[in-house]
Amino acid sequence: MRTWLEVNTKNLRYNIGKIYEKIGDRKIIGIVKANSYGLGSIEITKELIKCGIDFFAVATLSEGIELRKAGIKEKILILGGVFDDELKEVAQYDLHIALSRFDQLVYIHKNKLQVKCHLALETGMGRIGFNFEDVEKVKKYVKENNLTNIIGVYTHLSVADEESEENRIYTEKQIEKFNNFNGIDTIEYRHILNSGGILSYSDKDNGNYVRVGIVMYGICGERWIDDFKPVISFKSKILFIKTLIEDMDISYGRACHLKKGEVIGTIAAGYADGFKRGALNKMTVKIQGRDCTVVGKVCMDMLMVKIPEDMVEKIKIGEEVILYGDDLVEKAKEIGTSTYEIITGINPRVKRVYIEE
Ligand SMILES: *Cc1c(COP(=O)(O)O)cnc(C)c1O
């Protein structure tokens, strides 16, 4: 293997156990959108099923179909909204949708489509979802037409993972609005808490499900969670080692100048694998537990690091390199991005490997 993403399934199950401790008698919707945050949608879903989870959420129709085709029989909700011309397939694959348009509800009814809906409420995310005034129209329509396909209601918290007094007040308002929703008798599923919500607000809402995303990987709000375990390591290998025979500029743009005698290692991963181009000559990768500085610009398929003098004798071709591991959160911060963006940006050519230790 050249470059791979290691997923520690044992730690994943451990973290799910921790989440169960926090949520009382609520149940879990496993969020497996975007290829399960880049970790592999089918494998992660199967792992979560082992933990007793029987409800999943994806972002798009095609992600839902992918799970069905892999034999996943559990409930699947599409959170990202769907277009009307996708509804036939939604019904065919028995997927649930997030509903946030009245005309879509009418469309579903008029076309006699068997589509189960979770009513999305706008409470402060500013993305999709019904305003509370429009919900009244939905309730009326549901009653008049005896609709039974609105089976869930949910909303999304925008700052549950950011600790400040102001954000706490904002989040509590969102939760209060959600808690006050009622009036559709066929609703079985009420869910509001995301990762940040589960950790900080699980005594506040009246939902019976929670939506578990990045918290299952031991991360929330760009922090490691105490008592949880890291799940993700993005790894590669040393492909080539050279001692500079003269002073030399490294990589595109000649943005790094090194001296004769210095040793560089070329690593078999680049930005096309998902290693981010961060601040020049400031990023590091781990080799034999040591942080080694990435020198020059990261290339598409390779990157170069400076090998510290005392390590030169000890390293060899094929040596394992950790690009992002238990420093993922810190690195995301350094680069000025989020852990979500890094892990979902790890590309398909990177093999996903599932380990138990
Ligand atoms: C992505 C998403 C989640 C999960 O978010 P985390 O921060 O990873 O917990 C939950 N709910 C909705 C609606 C989402 O889009």
pLDDT digits (tens, 9 = 90+) for 199-223: 999 999 999 999 999 999 999 989 9
The packing angle between helices 9-23 and 41-50, to 10°, is: 50
Distance (Å, rounded) from C-alpha 214 to C-alpha 196?
A: 9
What one-letter code names the amino acid at 176? E
Q: Whose CA is nearest to atom 4 of ligand 1?
A: 213
- Mean pLDDT value across residues 93-105: 98
State in Å: Cα 158 to ligand 1 middle.
10
Task: Indicate whether this model's pTM tops 0.75.
Answer: yes
Backbone angles phi, psi at 6, to 5 degrees: -95, 125
State in Å: Cα 32 to ligand 1 middle.
9
Q: How confident is the model at residue 163 (pLDDT cuts 50, 70, 90)?
A: confident
DSSP letter assigned to residue 86: G
Distance (Å, rounded) from C-alpha 92 to C-alpha 132?
A: 31
State in Å: Cα 233 to ligand 1 middle.
22
To test the pocket of ligand 1, the residue of 55, 211, 232 to mutate (highest count of ligand atoms within 8 Å of its CB) is 211
What pLDDT does residue 278 have?
A: 87
Find, among 86, 98, 162, the residue nearest to 130 by Cα.
98
Reduced DSSP (H G I as helix, E B as strand, rest coil) percent helix, strand, coil of the chain, to 5: 30, 25, 40
To test the pocket of ligand 1, the residue of 58, 121, 189, 194 to mutate (highest count of ligand atoms within 8 Å of its CB) is 194
Give the chain's length: 357
Q: How confident is the model at residue 322 (pLDDT cuts 50, 70, 90)?
A: very high
Q: Whose CA is nearest to atom 15 of ligand 1?
A: 79
Tokens of 189: 């599923």
Distance (Å, rounded) from C-alpha 69 to C-alpha 63?
A: 10
Could you give the 3-state DSSP secondary structure of residue 343? Answer: helix
What pLDDT does residue 266 have?
A: 98
Write out the catalytic residue numbers. 33, 252
What pLDDT does residue 357 have?
A: 81
For residue 32, the tally of other CB atoms under 10 A from its CB is 31
Tokens of 173: 């308002």
- Mean pLDDT value across residues 129-135: 94
Nearest ligand 1 atom, CA 211: 10
Q: Whose CA is nearest to atom 5 of ligand 1?
A: 213
State in Å: Cα 243 to ligand 1 middle.
47
What pLDDT does residue 22 have?
A: 96
What pLDDT does residue 279 have?
A: 85
* Helical ranges in 51-96 per DSSP H: 61-69, 87-92
What whole-number percentage of the chain has pLDDT above 70?
100
Nearest ligand 1 atom, CA 154: 13
Nearest ligand 1 atom, CA 195: 9
List the end-to-end C-alpha distance of the chain, in Å, as a whole number: 19
Q: Whose CA is nearest to atom 12 of ligand 1?
A: 156
What pLDDT does residue 108 have?
A: 98
Q: Whose CA is nearest to atom 6 of ligand 1?
A: 213
Distance (Å, rounded) from C-alpha 354 to C-alpha 8?
A: 6
Tokens of 91: 């019904």
Q: Whose CA is nearest to atom 13 of ligand 1?
A: 156
CB 177 within 8 A of CB 150: no
- Mean pLDDT value across residues 92-101: 98
What pLDDT does residue 321 have?
A: 98
Q: What is the pairing mode between strands 96-99 and 232-243?
A: unpaired
CA-based torsion, 132, 133, 137, 140: positive or negative: positive
Q: Which residue has the tokens 């939604």?
A: 90
State in Å: Cα 33 to ligand 1 middle.
9
Task: Assess whether pLDDT exceeds 90 at residue 241.
Answer: yes
Q: Residues enclosing ligand 1, CB less than 6 A?
A: 31, 33, 79, 156, 194-195, 211, 213-215
What pLDDT does residue 104 have?
A: 98
Nearest ligand 1 atom, CA 214: 8
Q: Which residue has the tokens 């700052």?
A: 159
- Mean pLDDT value across residues 47-69: 98
State in Å: Cα 2 to ligand 1 middle.
31
Task: Assess whether pLDDT exceeds 90 at residue 33.
Answer: yes
- Mean pLDDT value across residues 304-332: 97
